[in-house]
């Protein structure tokens, strides 16, 4: 019996490894509908560090991507930032078909110290980015804030442009998110959930006044059992009231939010081509056949 269990576990391990490779494989070649992926490298990186970034995001051929450098001047142009800033965070942006949503993968989480996948995704939706697979990477420890400017740059070339006010509010949103996680003692994932739920409620309720926004913020804080200081509550209210006044299609944002809140389900959909029922039936059939096969070995 022990031998049967051992053989079965080895086979199951092989199957799970195959599924993992299939789920993680993003080497689909260049999608000609959207052009080459864009690799945006931080200005302060040395050539060795830039090559390390290329390796980390699997760029083995320079012809695979359009390479850009994000500078402090870009920070000033897109969000009115500090011209003396050092830019280390980098990103690879791959456009995807409508409905894909925003999927962010921090390739070097040990080096991005303040910003999470969901924080990036929330801010990018606010800025107007849609349907993209974004890989964030840094070969040195950084907060991760400058990666957002690099992603903005990727969407402000080739005749495209994001709305200036939306980019600035999105950057403010990222700063609020990291401030709440760092100084208010709230778990990073909880912060992302709070911001996403407030956006969802704004899309459903279409608040007309700052007081309406304040009520939505307080309702979501209560719903998620989050306690903030009056100053932090006001900071949130000011952020979302400014967001309310922009020309943002919150219905579209709400649709894309589903991808952030259910990213695991989304990855399964991508692997199975949307046929999740068929996928799981296939899994059950496989293991049923596997068990019968193993039994046959020992009969």
Instruction: Give me the mean pLDDT over the 143-159 stretch.
Output: 88
> Which pLDDT score is estimated for 81?
85
The top-scoring range by mean pLDDT among 30-34, 49-53, 283-287 is 49-53
Domain spans of the chain? 31-261
* Threshold 0.75, pTM exceeds: no
| Mean per-residue pLDDT of the chain | 79
> Which pLDDT score is estimated for 137?
96
Q: What is the pLDDT of residues 40-74, one digit of tens each?
A: 999 999 999 999 999 999 999 988 899 999 999 99
> Which pLDDT score is estimated for 186?
87
Q: Which of these, 247, 258, 252, 236, lies nearest to 186 by C-alpha position?
A: 236
Q: What is the pLDDT of residues 93-134, one digit of tens each?
A: 999 988 888 999 999 999 999 999 988 998 999 899 989 999
């Amino acid at each position: 019996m022990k031998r049967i269990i051992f053989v079965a576990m080895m086979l199951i391990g092989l199957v799970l490894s195959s599924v993992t490779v299939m789920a993680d494989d993003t080497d689909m070649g260049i999608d000609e509908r959207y052009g080459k992926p864009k690799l945006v490298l931080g200005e302060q990186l040395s050539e060795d560090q830039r090559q390390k970034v290329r390796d980390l995001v699997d760029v083995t051929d320079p012809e695979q991507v359009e390479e850009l450098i994000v500078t402090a001047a870009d920070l000033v142009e897109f969000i009115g930032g500090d011209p003396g800033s050092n830019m280390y965070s980098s990103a690879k942006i791959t456009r995807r078909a409508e409905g894909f949503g925003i999927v962010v993968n921090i390739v070097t989480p040990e080096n991005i110290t303040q910003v999470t996948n969901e924080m990036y995704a929330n801010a990018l939706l606010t800025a107007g980015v849609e349907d993209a697979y974004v890989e964030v990477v840094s070969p040195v420890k950084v907060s991760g804030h400058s990666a957002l400017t690099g992603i903005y740059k990727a969407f402000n070339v080739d005749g495209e442009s994001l709305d200036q006010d939306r980019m600035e509010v999105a950057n403010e949103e990222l700063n609020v998110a990291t401030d709440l996680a760092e100084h208010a003692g709230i778990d990073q994932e909880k912060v992302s959930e709070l911001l996403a739920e407030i956006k969802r409620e704004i899309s459903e309720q279409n608040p007309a006044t700052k007081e309406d926004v304040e009520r939505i913020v307080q309702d979501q804080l209560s719903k998620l059992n989050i306690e903030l200081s009056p100053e932090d509550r006001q900071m949130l209210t000011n952020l979302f009231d400014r967001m309310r006044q922009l020309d943002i299609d919150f219905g579209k944002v709400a649709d894309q939010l589903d991808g952030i809140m259910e990213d695991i389900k989304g990855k399964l959909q991508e692997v199975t081509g949307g046929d999740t029922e068929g996928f799981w039936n296939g899994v059950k059939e496989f293991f049923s056949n596997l068990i019968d096969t193993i039994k046959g070995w020992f009969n």
